[in-house]
Structures are given as structure tokens and as C-alpha cells.
Structure 1
Amino acid sequence: MHILPPQVTAAVRAVRAARTHARCLATPSSSKGSFSQTLADGPSLDDFIADRVPDRVVLGNKNAPRLPSYLKTTIPKGASFAKIKKDLRGLNLHTVCEEARCPNIGDCWGGKEGVSEAEGKRGATATIMLMGDTYLADGGAYHFAETIMKIKQKAPQILVEALTGDFAGNLEHVAVVAKSGLDVYAHNIETVEALTPFVRDRRAKFRQSLQVLEHAKKSGVKVTKTSMMLGVGENEEQVMHALRELRKVDVDVVTFGQYMRPTKRHMKVDRYVEPAEFDRWKQVAEDMGFLYVASGPLVRSSYKAGEFYIENVLKGKAAERRTKTLVADEALETGARNVQQS
């Protein structure tokens, strides 16, 4: 039998006393009786059935903005939607449409109610992006370029839009994608300059995104496109500033959409923007010279609402180039004839 020194024995007794005191503070002996009394004093099952409950329990954050009716969408249906979803699961593929809970997934996947599978396929669209961080030396630029070139080789008539990151500001990698034969180069600024450090990845920079869009246009891209989320805390002057900066680098297309919080791990919604405000920003952007503006609570950067317009813009640009070529050829022929006559 070991005899502990007096000072050690005193320390052990002090620790035991502290633990006992803590347990008493955390779980008082009367807690069981108090809980039973609370249940006895509360409404009975008959009260619930008769809807005679005086004080209802409200779950969740009562101060958080409630989801307005115009942001509530129906559950996607249709043969095409079901077929696409089945094929994706069979191939073990994941989509940003599902991960981000995009409200337009039913429409983009041809999932309108009453639409046949064949009609759905004609109306369905797809967006291919590099998801997550890429640690490739080129930031995935050559993956983009090779994919675009393969699509154009197989079906030259298909209009291709690439939604890229900023390639950490490496403009050579931007040029690789821009010169791959794509039709629309998209890179999203996401929010206004003042909120960029708080909304976007800490490595992203507003000015860097502008440089990406500017260099893509200088590299020969026909149409450049970007997107902004509203409802993250921006004010009117900040949005105007962003639009002015985008026009300075000749961005053609801009879209506005409501920020929606995908999960509780993500940033909270500051406010839900009214449809009338989206309409106003559409008018403002069009007046500033953007070729196309899609603006609405459910608009997303890759939503197909603007595809037909962008297609017409591209065809118009192609026709304009053909006209310039014909005029130039005719001028050369006229000049050659004049030289021969002289």
C-alpha cells in the first residue's frame, strides 16, 4: 500500500471537489423534476389536435430574409430530364447544376412538363467546366483548348462557350483558350470590386479578372461574357462602377442573378433583390452599350436564356466580317483593273 504525501492528497481532494461542484452547476438535482413539471404544465395532445397551442415554437433564424415566392421553382420533370440524370449516374459524373442546386436545372436539361424526350434533347444544354482547384502547370488551359478543338472538329456548327477561371493572372494561358476556336469566352467577376475579398476566393482579384476578359478579346475572341451576383451586400454605386470597368475592357455580355446560399457552410444571403430592380439593371447595362444583358432572380451565368441572342450576335459578327472581306476583295480587284487599264 502506497501512502501519498500530504500535499498530493490535498490536491486530489481539491480536484474531486471541483468536479463535484461543476457537475452540480451543470445538472442540478432538481432538473428532472423541473422538466417533468414543464411537461405537465404544457399543452396536451388534445390541445395540439384542437389547435389550442398558445405559444408556437419557431425554428431557425427569425431575422434571416425569407425566400420570396418568385424564387421558388417547381420540381423538374420530363423524359429528357430523367434520361440525362440516369445517364450521369451511370457514368458516375457530377454536375455543377446539381451541386449548386441551380433553379434552372429542369429547363436546361429539357425537363419542362409535357415535353417529349426528343424535344427535350433539342432544347437541352450543357456547360463543361473544370471543377475545383487544378494544380496543373497551365491551370487546365490546354484541357480547355483541346476539348474545344475536338468539338469544333466533330461539329463545326456548334457554338462553344468556355467558362474559365483567371489562371492566376497568367495571360499566356488565357490566350491558349482564347485562340482555340471558341465562340464565347466567359469569366465571372462574381461581385463588385469592394466585396471581392469577402465574396470570392482570397486568390481572386477584381482587376485580375478584368485583365483576363480584356486579353481574351485582344486574342481574337468574338464575344466576352461575365456574370455578377446581387444580394451579397453591394450598393448601387458599386454595381455602376463594376459595369463601367467592364465596358472599358470591351465586355459584350453581362448577366445578373440572385445569390442563393447552397449550404449553411456558404456565405449568408444579405437580401433578396426584387425583380423590378433586376429589370432596371438590365436597362442600365443595355444603355451602357452591352450587346446582351440577362438579368433576373433566377438567371445564372450559363443559363440558356441568352443563347439565341448570343447566337445571333455571333452570326451578325460573322456576316460583318464576310462583308468586310468581300468589300476588301472587291477593292483589290478594282485596283488591279485600274492598274491594268493604265
Structure 2
Amino acid sequence: MHNHTAGPGKPPWLKKRLPRGGDYAHITRLLAGAKLHTVCQEANCPNMFECFSQNTATFMVLGDQCTRHCRFCNITARPPLAVDPGEPARVARAVQELGLHYVVVTSVTRDDLHDGGAAHFAAVIQALKKMGKASGQPIRVEVLIPDFQGERTALKTVVDAQPDVINHNIETVADLYPRVRPEAVYQRSLDLISNVKKINPDMPTKSGIMVGLGETLFQLEKAMQDLHDHGCDLLTMGQYLQPTKNHLPVEKYYPPAEFAQLERTARNIGFTKLAAGPFVRSSYRAEELFQQSDIPAEAKS
């Protein structure tokens, strides 16, 4: 692999033209009016204009104030607010108004709650499924969950609510956890994936990795293999971008050709549903990834 270390300014493949259109403004107004948050806005996601213009969004429940201090994340760590019992219904109404049929729901980490917010996730899933059933337009729901501090009872609450995909991002390689995710545990995140399968072997699982934080190719391959060994079905890999100067710096910008190489490595490990590229994020084109056809084993090499 070539070493494209981070220098002043972003490389040309990270320049993105912002699409124009009324849907972006429409969704922004709707979210503000419904007092709903999206991780798209909170994290300054580079795909926000594209997704909003296609009438898709990743809803962030349980407030916008996180109890952890990950050094890559643009969501604020502050004392969290009380859980809003009206939020599941508001999310469902917003999804109905937007005409969405595939919804991603995530949250800040709520270590202050006894179940980490699992019951609230379940309530949102149930509200969306109920609304889809009533309208005759079934809604697929993907949840991107925190680790619930390893509490399997909390995880079971979410699994039993029958989302269509459970996503939990491992984010980075094991050796970088102390610097990147000091309040998380690499093995605990892997165990969450395998515990989903123990609770419901048929539940699709998903995880994501950021690159550019100083990891080596060997460490990336190990993380991919670990995820596969723990039952991860869908994988996303994207470029880390520094949200502000107070966050971790970008150590390397991976060009598209190196992402293609990482994708080949992942397919050789056994992943058949994955997305890898500079702009890929865990929720980016989530429905497309969920529906992606499995690639036969003989075509992986």
C-alpha cells in the first residue's frame, strides 16, 4: 500500500459537490419541527446533503448529549437529559411524512440509564413497525446501538423487538482503543455481535471500521477477521475525517484504490455484504447494503 499521509487540506478524492434540491430543506424543517435529532447533522456527516436529498436520514434518539468522550466523535459529551417517552411516536410520524421504508435509528451512549436505553430503542422499533403495518407499507428498521456496557439483558430487549439489522460499530483496531475509544472495550464490542447471534441466530448483524487513525494493514485485517469470527454479516469501512482541531488528527488518507484492496481482503475473509470507500459511513446507503446479493464463494478470490 502507498503511504498517503495526511498533509494540509484534503486530497482530491475527498472533494464532494453538494447536491441541490428541495428535499434537503424539507427534511431539515421537518426534523426541527418534530424536535428530532439526526446523527447526520450532529456528526457533520459528509453524506448528509446526498442522503437528505434522497429523503433518507439516520434518527438519533435519547437526546444529543453523550456520556462518553470518544476522541473521534463530534457529538457533545455532557450530562444527558431525561428520556422522552413521546419520542418513538414522533420518529414514526416523521418517517411516515417522509415516506421512508428503510429507517436507521441510533443514539448517543447513555451509560446513566440502567438499561443503556435499550427499552427506548425497542419502543422506537415497535412504533415504526406498528405504523408500517397500519399503513400497509412495511418498514425495515436498522438500529445502530451502543454496547450497553456488555449487559446481555439490555441487548436481548433490542433483539426481541425484531429490528431488521443490528449494527454496532467496532470503529477501530484493538491497539488504538486506548487512544480512540478510551471508555469502550474492543472485546466487549465483538461479544455484542456474537451475543446477538446467540439470542437470535437469524438476526443480521453489522459493524463498521474507520481508517486513517494510524492503524496498520495487519491490524485492519485482524479486526475484519475478528468481526467475521464473531458473526458479523455486514461490514462498512470508511475514511476518518477530523471533525474539529480538538479531535484526533487524520494520520493517513486512503485513496480509492486502497479501499478497493481492503474490500478484496474483506471478501477473502468471508464478508459477502460490505461497503468500503472514502465516504462510506455505517448508515450510508444502508438499504442498498442490506439488500446486496451474497457473492458466491468461488467469486470472492
TM-score (norm 2): 0.75
Separation in 2, partners of 1:263, 1:67 = 14
Partner of 1:100: 43
User: Quick check: 132-141 or 253-262, which moved more?
Assistant: 132-141
Letter in 2 for 1:299: V
Partner of 2:84: none
SS in 2 for 1:109: helix
Shift of 1:312: 5.4
Equivalent pairs counted in the alignment come to: 243
Shift of 1:93: 3.4
Q: Which has the higher contact order (CA 8 A, sep 6+)?
A: 2
Partner of 1:266: 247
1:1-342 equivalences under 5 Å are 64-110=7-53, 127-156=104-133, 157-200=138-181, 202-220=182-200, 221-304=202-285, 306-311=286-291
Tell me, yes or no, if the aligned pair for 1:213 and 1:251 is still in contact at 8 Å.
yes
Which runs of no fewer than 5 residues in structure 1 stay unpaired? 1-62, 113-120, 315-342
Which runs of no fewer than 5 residues in structure 2 stay unpaired? 1-5, 56-97, 295-301
Pick the structure with greater CA Rg: 1
Shift of 1:125: 6.4
> Could you report, residue by residue, the CA deviation over 1:242-277 in whole angstroms, capped at 9, with x for unpaired residues?
111111111101110000111122111111111101
Separation in 1, partners of 2:32, 2:198 = 40
Tell me, yes or no, if the aligned pair for 2:259 and 2:278 is still in contact at 8 Å.
yes
Tell me, yes or no, if the aligned pair for 1:138 and 1:167 is still in contact at 8 Å.
yes
C-alpha spacing 1:88/1:309, structure 2 compared with 1 (3 Å):
closer
Greater share of helix? 1
Tell me, yes or no, if the aligned pair for 1:76 and 1:111 is still in contact at 8 Å.
no
TM-score (norm 1): 0.66
Separation in 2, partners of 1:289, 1:244 = 9
SS in 2 for 1:301: coil
C-alpha spacing 1:145/1:91, structure 2 compared with 1 (3 Å):
closer
Letter in 2 for 1:236: L
> Sequence identity of aligned pairs in percent?
38
Separation in 1, partners of 2:15, 2:103 = 23
Letter in 1 for 2:234: V
